[in-house]
């Protein structure tokens, strides 16, 4: 028997993921319930926690074992420095993270109710100043499994990045959140689209509240040119839609403490698993297990689990074909 490393072990190098997106300092106020108009409410606590969809997804990819670089922009302030440091501590390459001299670091004010429900006000700040350096991006994408993007950075810059990725032969994993219309030529540039039920409905005009509806919405989104779609359904798990049809993967029953970053955690686990060559359904199940751990802990980045913890968590029940 040969002791040479096999080509399959060479292929098991951790996938490289390039994340384009937002970084925010989350100012988290824990409250019994959200105040009504005109009401002054006594809150329980305040905390400053690194967040922002882009950074959360980058951290999730890194904690799942991906080799991650982040493209984004922070302000020249204490929050910006803290966010940069947080990424570095997760081993994320921040060479393409710019510091803008004029705008403050993005901020999200998050009210978390005792029920675990959250309400968020976002100030984009420096996230609005993200600019794509096409030549540098082309180089970064060489050998990368995915370009991951969301819509918390300017749409025209995301569009440019999607085009560069497409031309460079790098797959795009898009989470169009907060949702905005997607220009027609961009649809075929998306390999994998991850949407929640609200985003799915906004993009295809069909309700996606039940797994059956999500399957139909996913097919409608595929008809626009995307290869595969995941519709996440909160406590009901997610629906995976590809050329083979639609499958509903249910989520484990857990106590939700704080759902912040659930979708971002899901996406990171999905991206790395797909980058490792796992099947679409296995990748979705891993995402569901990771997100279930995330919602049992408060905050954005501190609640994102490591791969080792995800693998120790219970397997969700089998999927159901729709």
Please give the DSSP secondary-structure letter assigned to residue 65: T
Catalytic residue annotation: 264
Tell me the closest approach of the beta carbon of residue 119 to ligand ADP, in angstroms.
13
What is the spatial distance between Cα 266 and Cα 278, in angstroms, rounded to a whole number?
Answer: 15
Q: Which is nearer to ligand ADP, 164 or 251 (CB)?
A: 251
The span of 29-37, 62-70, 185-193, 288-296 binding ligand ADP (CB under 6 A) equals 288-296
Q: Which is nearer to ligand ADP, 122 or 137 (CB)?
A: 122
Give how many residues touch ligand ADP by CB under 6 A.
18
Non-local CB neighbours of 259 within 8 Å, separated by 6+ positions: 116, 117, 118, 234, 295
Among residues 210, 235, 282, 306, which is the contact residue for ligand ADP, using CB under 6 A?
235
From residue 244 to residue 273, the character string flagging contacts with ligand ADP as x (rule: CB under 6 A) and all else as - is -------x--x-x--x--xx--x-------
Among residues 56, 107, 232, 303, which is the contact residue for ligand ADP, using CB under 6 A?
232
What is the spatial distance between Cα 19 and Cα 173, in angstroms, rounded to a whole number?
Answer: 9
The span of 127-135, 154-162, 178-186, 289-297 binding ligand ADP (CB under 6 A) equals 289-297
Site for ligand ADP in 158-217 (CB under 6 A): 196
What is the spatial distance between Cα 149 and Cα 59, in angstroms, rounded to a whole number?
Answer: 13
Please give the DSSP secondary-structure letter assigned to residue 40: -
- Asked whether position 144 contacts ligand ADP by CB under 6 A, the answer is no
Q: Where are the alpha helices (DSSP H) in 106-236?
A: 134-141, 155-168, 197-204, 211-222
What is the spatial distance between Cα 154 and Cα 207, in angstroms, rounded to a whole number?
Answer: 27
The half-sphere exposure of 211 on its side-chain side, counting CA atoms within 13 A, is: 17
Please give the DSSP secondary-structure letter assigned to residue 270: H
Tell me the closest approach of the beta carbon of residue 27 to ligand ADP, in angstroms.
19
SS3 217: helix
Binding residues for ligand ADP, per CB under 6 A? 196, 232-235, 237-238, 251, 254, 256, 259, 262-263, 266, 288, 291-292, 295
């Amino acid at each position: 028997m040969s002791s040479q490393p096999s080509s399959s072990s060479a292929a098991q190098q951790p996938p490289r993921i390039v994340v384009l997106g937002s970084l925010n300092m989350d100012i988290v106020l824990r409250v019994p319930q959200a105040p009504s108009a005109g009401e002054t409410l006594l809150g329980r606590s305040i905390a400053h926690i690194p967040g922002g969809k882009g950074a959360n997804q980058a951290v999730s990819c890194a904690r799942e074992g991906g080799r991650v670089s982040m493209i984004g922009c922070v302000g020249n302030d204490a929050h910006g420095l803290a966010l940069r440091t947080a990424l570095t501590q997760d081993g994320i390459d921040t060479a393409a993270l710019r510091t803008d001299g004029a705008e403050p670091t993005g901020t999200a004010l998050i009210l978390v109710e005792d029920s675990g429900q959250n309400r968020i006000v976002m100030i984009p700040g420096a996230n609005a100043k993200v600019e794509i350096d096409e030549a540098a991006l082309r180089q970064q994408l060489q050998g990368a499994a995915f370009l991951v993007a969301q819509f918390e950075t300017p749409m025209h810059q995301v569009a440019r990045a999607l085009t560069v990725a497409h031309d460079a032969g790098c797959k795009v994993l898009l989470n169009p959140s907060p949702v905005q219309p997607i220009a027609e030529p961009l649809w075929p540039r998306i390999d994998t689209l991850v949407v929640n039920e609200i985003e799915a409905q906004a993009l295809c005009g069909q309700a996606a509240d039940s797994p059956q509806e999500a399957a139909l919405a996913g097919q409608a989104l595929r008809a626009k040119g995307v290869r595969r779609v995941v519709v996440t359904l909160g406590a009901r798990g997610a629906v995976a839609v590809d050329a083979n049809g639609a499958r509903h993967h249910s989520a484990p029953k857990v106590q939700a403490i704080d759902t912040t970053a659930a979708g971002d955690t899901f996406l990171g686990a999905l991206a790395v698993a797909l980058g490792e060559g796992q099947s679409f359904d296995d990748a979705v199940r891993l995402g569901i297990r990771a997100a279930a751990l995330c919602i049992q802990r408060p905050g954005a980045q501190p609640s994102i689990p490591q791969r080792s913890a995800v693998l120790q968590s219970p397997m969700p029940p089998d999927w159901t074909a729709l």
